[in-house]
Amino acid sequence: MKKHNFGAGPSILPQEVFEQSAQACLEYNGIGLSILEISHRSKEFTDVLDESISLIKELLNVPDDYSILFLQGGANMQFNMVPYNILNEDETANFVETGVWATRAEAESRLYGKTKIIASSKESNFNYIPKNFEVDEDALYLHLTSNNTIYGTEFFEDKQYPIPVICDMSSDIFSRPVDVSKYHIIYAGAQKNLGCAGITLVIIKNEWLGRAKRPKSKMWDYEIFAKNNSLYNTPPVFAIYTCLLTLRWLKKLGGLAEMEKRNIAKSTLLYNEIDRNLLFKGHAVEEDRSRMNINFITTNPEDEVAFLEFVKPYNIHGIKGYRTVGGFRASCYNALPIESVQVLVEAMQAFEKSKNA
């Protein structure tokens, strides 16, 4: 029996994506070859790449003056590639520190230019999104992390700031409509909502290609990958194909407006139970609660291990919380069905009854 997978990533994918990608590993489209062995220069893969880019532009309504890049290395590599390509040594970038990944992004950026943390929620273990912060208008850009997988907070508004915005959307991209025009760069690891691990999506405004003055390695140069349609070196063919299947699934279901409705329904169901059940309490403040990563703890610390043991018969996987928060983290990415959330809620209610018996 397949488990209810609340893992934070690599995470759940749609069942039809598993089935279609598995078949393609045996033989792709009746050509007598596996997707794992076709050339990245072949017509078959060019079609996969072109359709993937087209669907990303369609689903996110990407303006014409942006490039879509498929890279590798995850968000961690982008923590370096962004300032390497954009930030000159005498320029400053602003950061809003909302968790581990925002902290890492700022630390890596110091290698290439100046940085300044203009707002942070570190003092309260990142349980809220800073509000009403002021950016430095002489800074080159503002860096945000839209969703925080470890602490369970999320930005929901695509705001216009006086300076360009760069956003790490690794864990909530494609979970809701996004106004891409409000950002100069969006980057995201694929392993949450876009496909399997091994590929990183970068959406960059063309005017920033080749911006930084430093001599660049071709393998770290956005402009090189844009000119070569992400084919400067051999790309992760299978990961891009899995991405294509996921994008097709998203479009078939009705696009990002429909996904947002589903994600609101799932997160509301679980947060309502957390707030109702006296054995549990949430980590994030209510107005900033993530729809993707729902963090909660037991009101009695001794119940934590007991609850993890209690849910095993329910076939629930991946809810143990990150060490800096503890408790539990239920990641409710796009492909997680609401039925899995219902099972978790039933387990929480049954645990409550067992404690009151």
Give the pairing of strands 92-97 and 141-145. parallel
Which is the catalytic residue, given 2, 3, 138, 192? 192
* Ramachandran quadrant class, 233 (left: phi over 0; alpha: psi -120 to 50; beta: rest): beta
Residues 199 and 326: their CA atoms lie apart, in Å, by: 29
Q: Pairing state of beta strands 328-331 and 293-298?
A: antiparallel
43 is catalytic: no
Task: For residue 281, give Cα distances in angstroms to 328, 329, 333, 344.
Answer: 10, 12, 21, 15
Name the active-site residue from 101, 205, 266, 288.
101
- CA 71 vs. chain centroid, Å, equals 15
Query: Catalytic residue among 57, 116, 138, 168, which?
Result: 168
**How many Å apart are CA 46 and CA 38, to the nearest integer?**
11
Take residue 129 and report the two structure tokens written for it.
């999104």
309: exposed, middle or buried (Cβ count in 10 Å: 0-12, 13-18, 19+): exposed
Catalytic annotation on 192?
yes
The dihedral over CA atoms of 212, 215, 221, 225, expressed in degrees to the nearest 10, equals: 110
Residues whose CB falls within 8 Å of the CB of residue 349, separated by 6 or more in sequence, listed in order = 273, 277
Q: Which token pair is 349? A: 């209610």
Per-position DSSP letters for 43-86, written without gaps between them = HHHHHHHHHHHHHHHHHHT--TTEEEEEESSHHHHHHHHHHHHH
Indicate the DSSP class of residue 320: B
Active site residues: 101, 168, 192
